[in-house]
Structure 1
Amino acid sequence: MTLQAVVYTRDGVQAYDDVGAAVDAPGETWVHASVDEASDLETIKDRFGLHSLAVEDVLDENTRAKTEEYGDHTFVLVNTTRLSQRDDVAFGKEIHTQSVGLFVGDGWLVTIARPDLELVAPTAPTWTRNSSRVADRGADFLAYRVLDAVVDDYFDVLDEIETDIEAVEERVLTHPEPGILEELNGVRRDLLAFRKVAWPTREAVGTLSRGDSPQVAEANEKYFRDVYDHLVQVVDLIETYRDLTGGSRDIYLNAVSQSTNEVMKTLTVVATIFIPLTFVVGVYGMNFAGTPFSMPELGWTYAYPATMLGMALVAALMLAHFRRQGWL
């Protein structure tokens, strides 16, 4: 486990090695814990009165985003997202999520995340600027900064997905290969997984933006409303991209269907041309002879070349007719 504690005052930002000293110091305190196991947080839980179930939710990667009230503090759970290459296929990506827990109290903020998540590290330069501004607006303003950073990463993921969609659309129009359908379905699965992250996050932030939490000052509600508006845009973009992938899939299926129809049309024309030719060779293949009703052409010297020439003429006339009708 790694603990980092900083205190924001009008005079600057002060880092502390001891959490208790940071809490007792004047100013707005931010404590960030990077942990793998809930048992590592006993000191933090006792010092700030964090509920064990809330801490377990942070370390469970399958927990949906939410906002809950715990007496003297508000618990907010959100999920970060990132794209990575799929292991099971040669192309396509998949979305990975990681939970971030924010506990907002009176004059303090505690964030908990996995060790490999550096998004909310309080020693990052982006968090240490304008310390007087943070000191004036409180710990809930710090919580807004964290949530805003998480949502900004949502747009980065959407930009990557949009790039993938554009590449697939171009291939659908130029080279509709069989593997494109699987790739389109993979993008749609990613968008559905992303929607399951963004939708509850929007509801969780909406609770903060409406002033339902006593730990959020009225003057800071507008910042959470801004994050909420960004999440609305994220959800709208997800739906738009799902429609785009659905349209690309329809275009691919239509292209495949059209190609199949062209093949079937060609085969039908060839079969139609051979129908009269098969009839001719079938009739003269009966070889009836020695009766008054036998075929007189069987004894004709030029019967074979005449028959072949007639068959070629029939085939040529049929080909000319099909071409005139636009079937070839």
Structure 2
Amino acid sequence: MLNFYKTVDNRIIKIDAPETGCWISVISPSEAEIAYLTGDLGVELDFVRAALDEEESSRIESEEDQTLVIVDYPVAEQDTDENNTILYTTVPMGIIMTHDYVITVCLNENLLIGEMSEGRVKGLQTSLKTRFLLLTLLRVAARFLQYLKQIDKISSTTEMRLHQSMRNKELIQLLGLEKSLVYFSTSLKSDEITLEKILRGRIIKLYEEDEDLLEDVLIEIKQAIEMCNIYSNILSGTMDAFASVISNNLNIVMKVLTAITIVMAIPNIVFGFYGMNVAGLPVPYVWMPLVISLVLCGITAIILVKKDMFKS
């Protein structure tokens, strides 16, 4: 899907055909649309293919008069398993800057493209390609911070549920969040390296106001990396703690069941002894094994209670 936008009177409007200084939004393009980009608009085919590769990592590359910047963008999705857990991951988003256009290439629709096309990104000018790139990166960093805060809230809520009931659903949710933080940490570090390359000014020419904006983006990314590391450490410690609690609870249950089994085994031994088909048993009356069983069970139970075998 191709859409064309241009800033007119400080407002983003949708246009029917590409113009000089416009922004081209490319979302999950067909082969015909890719051919139009590479053939009619002269965009490098390798740049478009790289931006559509799910495994592509964040990087910056320049060839002739075109520059490709790939950044990892965070997304939230509902897992398809029966627990309906929320998973966070990252997908690549390519930003291609040519002499006439700035082009964003995405595998799927995302909130950032929607915000930009609806004019909710302040100061966005499609004709100022460097400024457009930096504002996009700033929104990406802000989205990382937003999702990190959501992860923190979800993990806190899940921990409260785990305090009340040890269920697999909450543990799987925490495991999914821990995995999401690993994805975020890896992507943020890659984005940071790309931003530092841009900051050198060798590939993309930076003006004074652009340098200030880029430094803001770097600060946001570094803050997101720090938050990601903190949340990851907390979540890892929480998972280890709950694993120990679950193991301890299992040991307690097994201890109580073992104590009960010992007490219940005594009547079987006594009645088995009196049930043997032999002569000469002491006091061969039905009440005798009952009395012996009750006495032995009582003595054994008192000993086990003193050993704290019935305490949870």
TM-score range, shorter chain: 0.7 to 0.9
Amino acid at match of 2:44: H
Distance change in 2, residues 1:187/1:52 (3 Å): same
**Structure 1: distance between partners of 2:289 and 2:111:** 86
| Residue number in structure 1 paired with 2:119 | 125
Q: Name the aligned partner's letter for residue 192 of structure 2.
A: R
For the 8 Å contact 2:4–2:25, the answer to whether it is kept is: yes
Q: Does structure 2 retain, via aligned residues, the 8 Å contact 1:3–1:34?
A: yes
**In 1, are the aligned partners of 2:78 and 2:85 still within 8 Å (CA)?**
yes
Distance 1:32 1:282, change over 3 A: same
CA distance in 2, matches of 1:31, 1:118: 17
Alignment-derived partner of residue 79 in structure 1:
72
Task: After TM superposition, list the pairs within 5 Å mapping 1:116-195 onto structure 2.
Answer: 116-117=109-110, 119-120=112-113, 123-127=117-121, 129=123, 138-195=128-185
The aligned residue for residue 34 of structure 1 is: 26
1:297 alignment partner AA = V
Structure 1 residue 67, shift from structure 2 partner: 0.9
Residue 298 of structure 2 is aligned to residue 305 of structure 1: no
Q: Please give the alpha-carbon distance, in whole angstroms, between the structure 1 residues aligned to 2:108 and 2:148.
A: 25
2:303 paired with 1:321: yes
Greater Cα radius of gyration, structure 1 or 2:
1
Alignment of 1:1-328 (within 5 A): 1-6=1-6, 19=18, 22-23=19-20, 29-35=21-27, 36-37=29-30, 39-40=32-33, 45=38, 50-95=43-88, 97-104=90-97, 109-113=102-106, 116-117=109-110, 119-120=112-113, 123-127=117-121, 129=123, 138-274=128-264, 277-286=267-276, 288-289=278-279, 294-298=280-284, 303-328=285-310
Distance 1:273 1:118, change over 3 A: closer
Q: Answer with 41-50 or 86-95: which moved more.
A: 41-50
Asked whether the equivalents of residues 211 and 218 of structure 1 are also in contact (C-alpha less than 8 Å), the reply is: no
Alignment check: 8 A CA contact 2:12 2:118 kept: no
C-alpha RMSD over aligned residues: 3.4
**In 2, Cα distance between equivalents of 1:326 and 1:309:** 26
Specify whether residues 315 and 112 from structure 1 end up closer, same or farther in structure 2 by C-alpha distance, changes over 3 A only: closer
SS in 1 for 2:309: coil
Distance 1:297 1:247, change over 3 A: same
How far residue 281 of structure 1 moved from its aligned partner, in angstroms, is 3.7
1:287 Cα deviation from its structure 2 partner: 5.2
Structure 1, residues 43-95: CA drift from partner, whole Å, max 9, x if none?
65578754221121122333212111224343211232221211233321233
Whole-Å Cα distance in 2 between the matches of residues 61 and 31 of structure 1? 23
Q: Secondary structure at the match of 1:6?
A: strand
- Tell me which amino acid in the other structure corresponds to 1:305: W
DSSP 3-state at the match of 1:327: coil
Instruction: Give how far 1:161 is off.
Output: 2.0
CA deviation string 1:273-315 (max 9, x = no partner): 35554554444444543xxxx34533xxxx5434422331222
Cα distance between partner residues in 2 of 1:229 and 1:89: 39
Aligned length: 307
> For the residues of structure 2 that align with 1:107 and 1:217, how far apart are their CA atoms?
19
273 and 186 in structure 1: CA distance in 2 versus 1, 3 angstrom threshold:
same
C-alpha distance in 1, partners of 2:301/2:189?
Answer: 61
Tell me, what secondary structure is at the counterpart of 1:67?
A: strand
* Contact 1:209–1:222 (8 Å) recurs in 2: no
Determine helix, strand or coil for the equivalent of 1:119. Answer: helix
Q: Which runs of 5+ in 2 are unaligned?
A: none
* Aligned-partner Cα distance in 2 for 1:230–1:89: 36
Letter in 2 for 1:321: I
**Contact persistence 2:270–2:292 (CA under 8 A):** no
| Residues 84-93 or 240-249, more deviating | 240-249
Whole-angstrom CA distance in 1 between matches of 2:145 and 2:261? 56
Aligned to 1:91, what secondary structure does the other structure show? coil
Q: Which moved more, 1:76-85 or 1:144-153?
A: 76-85
For 1:220, the aligned partner's letter is D
Whole-angstrom CA distance in 1 between matches of 2:152 and 2:286? 67
- Aligned counterparts of 1:139 and 1:223: Cα–Cα separation in 2: 13
Residue segments in structure 1 that go unaligned for 5+ positions in a row: 24-28
Partner Cα distance (1:128, 1:287) in 2? 96
Change (3 A) 1:170 1:117: closer
Instruction: Tell me the TM-score normalized by structure 1.
Output: 0.77
